[in-house]
Amino acid sequence: MLHGPNLNLLGRRQPEIYGRLSLEQINRKIRALAAELGIEVDIRQSNIEGELITWIQEAPKQFGAIVINAAAYTHSSVALRDALTAVGIPAVEVHISNIHKREEFRKRSMIAEVVVGQIAGFGVNSYLLGLRAAAGCLR
């Protein structure tokens, strides 16, 4: 489970859009669901594009699927798209907000075409739906 830039500020950052739960509170819900589903989850957050890319590159050694909220890098990062394409394990794109009913620049996702699917607009539930989707992709 990869959280991209500024998601460490959840709870304080535009709560009317992203909700009032902190990243740690969201992570607790993710871990609880993983336990319920009987899967292991490793959760990481970075504000650094290259760090996210390194984690994606290393993922196949340890993990069967990726769930990613690439945050603002969603809209800009060819490098993240290339990394997801290169590793070839299933990835699920998640967003707390519905990026399709916000500013024009948020409607374009650089990674949408290389992931299995996208879940957006369900608040914290986007992560939980994304985890369920990823669990369904595990062999």
Give least dist CB 121 to ligand DQA, A: 8
Task: State the Cα–Cα distance between residues 70 and 18, nearest whole angstrom.
Answer: 14
* CB nearer to ligand DQA: pick between 11 and 64: 11
Q: Is 18 a catalytic residue?
A: yes
Q: Is 127 a catalytic residue?
A: no
Catalytic residue among 3, 73, 95, 127: 95
Chain residues that interact with ligand DQA, rule: CB under 6 A: 6, 69, 71-72, 74, 95-97, 99, 106
Exposure pattern of 25-51 as b/e (b: 16+ CB <10 Å)?
ebbeebeebbeebeeebebebbbebee
Structure tokens at 97: 């907000």
* CB nearer to ligand DQA: pick between 65 and 119: 119
Residues annotated as catalytic (active site), given as ranges: 18, 95
